[in-house]
Each structure stands twice: as structure tokens, then as C-alpha cells.
Amino acid sequence: MGEGIWSADVCIYGAEPVAPVSLLTAADSLQVRRNPGTLPSRVADNFYWLGRYLERGEALLGAIRVMLGNSIDVDGGAVLSPTTVGKLVGLIVGAGSAPHPPSLRRADLTALARTAMEDERWQSILTLNRHAREIGEGSRDRLSADMVRLLEAPFPTHRGMLERAGSLQRRYAAIAGLSAEHMGRTAAWRFHDLGRRIERAMAMARAIRLFGMPGASPDDLSVLLDLADSQISYRQRYPTGIARVPVMDLVALDPGNPRSLAFSAERIAARLAELPVLSDDEMAEPQQSQATGLQAIVMTATAAELNAETLGDIERRLGAVSDALARRYFLQGAEPLRTSGLTLA
């Protein structure tokens, strides 16, 4: 040291004991806090799209399972009419998950299902899971180890298509359970839940428009109940048979059905109300106004009068809510979205 050499760590020995000194805060002096800190916009964006990718994959998987005949309608069997199967094919193809098959024969439907499940050239389940896994890899400090393991789990390799689909369904259910019961109710969870609710409502609006319009066949209505995971609820309420208006009410307007449009619209509005806003004038911001308008349309609709035009409007409004949410909370180039000091817990 006397020769001018610099060192970051220096030890000096003395003849007498020296009292220990530490700059660390004593463990018993930490103040209790419940605000987990600032949530970066990038993380909010990631959690939102993690929810959307997972929900999109689960919805696509549901359509594939029904198309392959794995309906939970045990009385109806596995055979669907060609018209209903064609609508299911259109739902899968319309999602960009596979090309249109040359026919509706079993072999062509199986090939379609295989592409929609595991062909990375399309928006398949494998592709959606990869997007979710990439988000998980960048969010390890905010996700539980169990959640990360499920996101990174290899794609199922069971021999049968239905076995692979069943394995994926159980994985999606486990991830949804962890999200619902093990994530703290912070802003990160709210963005994740918003992504799930918006994506689920969009998928349900498309399904209702395909399978629930006037003239829908019993097969169409049964498929709609399957896609909404509402077969058991319907059977409990209406044991005498299947009818269009009761099905529409259950899957679209019942606020107690977690798969319905009404349930999702209410949750979207509630989550947006819990997020911070820029002003203190108690005026609704654009994303909140969009969600309120969406909720009003769903709440004032009736099952008998719900038509394709209204469902199309609901889907457009869901897209508008998503766009307004992104403009408000996610970074868009150099656009200033938040005032300094605004905290997302």
C-alpha cells in the first residue's frame, strides 16, 4: 500500500480484539411491508401475454379434442355430424394452427390435429407453448419453481393423439391452478389474469358465433358446451334435453360460469379498476371505458336475441380493450406512458 498500489479489500491486524461492525441491516429491524415494489412495464407485458398464450393453447386443445371425438358428452358418443366437424375444422384453421384438410375423413382430421398440436410452422400448441416457455425463462424471479417446471416440460410423446392431448390438458390445468391459488395478488397477477380473461372471452365469442346461432343442431350445441367446459352444468339445470336458448344463456350470459362472456367481462373491468391510473380526477381512462362498454353490452343482452352481429361487436371491443391496455401500460417506443413515481405493485 505504501508503494501506491490500490486495493478494494484491505485487512489490518491489530493486537486487541475489534468490535464487529456491519453495514447490513439487522434482521430484527426490518420494517414490515406489503407492497412488493415497482413492476416494470416489460414484466407487465410478459405476464399479460403469458396468460394469453396459455389460454389460447388451452382453447385450441379443446377444439382438437372435441374434433377427435373425445367429447365428455358420454351419451352422445364420439360421432359428430359432418357439418359440425366442418365448423370445428374452420375454428382450428381460422386460428392459423393448420392448413385446411383435403377432406373430413378420419385420416385427414388426424393429420390436421397433429399439425395443430405440434407443427412449429403454424400457430400450433407447440408454438404457443414455446412462446409461453420463453416468457417463463425471462421471469424466473417472479414465477414459482413449479410453474417454471411446467412451462419448460417437454412436449408429450405418447403414441396416441388423444393421449398427448390429455397430457397437455392436465398440464394446462395444473398451470391454471398454480396461477389461481399460488400467485400473490399483485399487479403482475392482474396482468396475467387480464390476458387469460381477454383471450378466453375472444375464443368463446368465436365459438358461440359458430355453434350457437339460430338453426344450430344438437351436435353444434353439444360441441359449444364442450368448448365452454359446461356439459355438467347444463345437464344439472336442464336434464330433459338440449336447447339453443338455455345453452346460449349458460355459455354467454351466466355470470356464475367462469367460462362465460359475462364472467370474463366482469373480471376484465374489475382487474382494470385495480390497476393504477395517471390522474386523480376519478375519471375513467380509455381502457376502463372500453371495459365498461363491453360489460354493459353483455349484461343487457338476452340469450334469445344474442346474434352474430352482437358477438362480432363483443370480439372487436375485446380487441379494443387489449389495445388500450397495451397503450396505457406497455412500453411503445419512446412514448411516455407513466408519470415518474407511479408504482405497479
Q: What is the 3-state secondary structure (H, E, C) of the chain?
A: CCCCCCCCCCCCCCCCCCCCCCCCCCHHHCCCCCCCCCCCHHHHHHHHHHHHHHHHHHHHHHHHHHHCCCCCCCCCCCCCCHHHHHHHHHHHHHCCCCCCCCCCCHHHHHHHHHHHHHCCCCCCHHHHHHHHHHHHHCCHHHCCHHHHHHHHCCCCCCCCHHHHHHHHHHHHHHHHHHHHHHCCCCHHHHHHHHHHHHHHHHHHHHHHHHHCCCCCCHHHHHHHHHHCCCHHHHHHHCCCCCCHHHHHHHHHHCCCCCCCHHHHHHHHHHHHHHCCCCCCCCCCCHHHHHHHHHHHHHHHCCCCCCCHHHHHHHHHHHHHHHHHHHHHHCCCCCCCCCCCCCCCC
pLDDT at 276: 87
Long-range Cβ contacts of 107-110 (<8 Å, 24+ apart): 109/67, 109/68, 109/85, 110/68, 110/161
Higher pLDDT: 303 or 5? It is 303
pLDDT at 278: 77
Calculate ∠ Cα 321-324-328, nearest 5°. Answer: 135
For residue 273, is pLDDT > 60?
yes
| 228 close to 59: Cβ distance less than 8 angstroms | no
pLDDT at 61: 97
Q: Predicted confidence band at 342 (pLDDT cuts at 50, 70, 90)?
A: very low
What does the mean pLDDT of the chain come to? 90
Which of 50-54, 55-59, 70-74, 131-135 is predicted with the least confidence, judged by mean pLDDT? Answer: 70-74
Please state, for a pLDDT cut of 70, what percent of the chain lies above it.
Answer: 93
For residue 77, is pLDDT > 80?
no
For residue 12, is pLDDT > 90?
no
Which of 12-21, 71-80, 89-98, 108-117 is predicted with the least confidence, judged by mean pLDDT? Answer: 71-80
- Cell reading at 9: 479489500
| 226 close to 66: Cβ distance less than 8 angstroms | yes
pLDDT at 339: 45
| Rounded-to-integer distance, Cα 112 and Cα 72, Å | 21
pLDDT digits (tens, 9 = 90+) for 324-335: 999 999 986 544
pLDDT at 79: 79
Which of 8-17, 52-61, 87-96 is predicted with the least confidence, judged by mean pLDDT? Answer: 8-17
For residue 9, is pLDDT > 80?
no
For residue 36, is pLDDT > 90?
no
